[in-house]
A = this chain, B = another copy of it.
Amino acid sequence: MIDLIPRHNSPSSGLLGQRRPLGVVGGMGSLATAHFLEVLARKSRVERDQDHIPFIALSVPSISDRSQAISIGSDAPLRQILERAYWLEKAGCGAIAIPCNTAHFWASAIKQALSVKLINMVEITRQAINDSRGNEIHNLRSIALGTSASMQHPLYVQPNENGFGNDFFRSLNELQSEAVKIIADVKSGNIKNAHAHLMQVIQSARSFDPDLIILSCSELSAISGDLGDDNDIVDPINILADRCIDWWMAESQSLPGHLADRP
């Protein structure tokens, strides 16, 4: 029966059919990629394996450090991210998701370069905040915790627009320094420490009574446990999974006979 399978099919050929899978640019970092795929599976709320969203995750993690590149004005990661996104596009993916907030520093260039849709995590998170709060993010008292680059070039909100008191900025710098340490702990596998540390930082952040705390690094999402269920927490990875599911549902419904490849 093995001989029935054409061995050297192009990766972009028949297997994927008309239903183009989601492409995931992974490796920024690897744990965050796995966490995103787990959230995607959990949120899909289907009964059978066969009904889950098809995806290709390409995790070739030799991408230059995003935060460091931004701090020195280098675009090296953009080129490497685009190589991977093009690979996924060529392999037949119908949309691209990048479960890394800092990579979205280059989201406009990536979006412009792709012929398929980029499900832009920062854009959809800002939109989700607007939709759920009836107000734009910069009008809310928001604290974003992420990589050091996200302090210099905030993805979600400029901290000086937050409406906190004068003492806040020193504290914000301290919170941010702690977040950077937590992210490094996650990347090197100290998960239990990192989780406990994140809970402390969130408690400190909550002492300022913010409207929102945004987990603006996917490593923080990866170790956040049930934190994302709290009303004051915004987890962009959760929102990215929701929008990927929306995209897949819309794609599936637009195809005639979209259930045809079910076994």
Contacts and interface: CB of A to CB of B under 8 A. Distances in A.
Interface of A: 1-2, 4-5, 7-12, 15-16, 21, 26-31, 33-35, 37-38, 40-42, 44-65, 75-76, 78-80, 82-84, 86-87, 90-91, 109, 112-113, 187-189, 191, 261-263
Taking each of A45, A57, A65, which has the highest tally of chain B beta carbons within 10 Å of its own beta carbon?
Answer: A57
A54 B83 CA distance: 15
A31 B43 CA distance: 10
A12 B9 CA distance: 12
Given A50-B63, A90-B10, A41 B34 contact: yes
A105 B37 CA distance: 26
Nearest to A112: B2
Contacts of A80: 263
Contacts of A263: 62-65, 76, 80
A1 B75 contact: yes
A35 B45 CA distance: 17
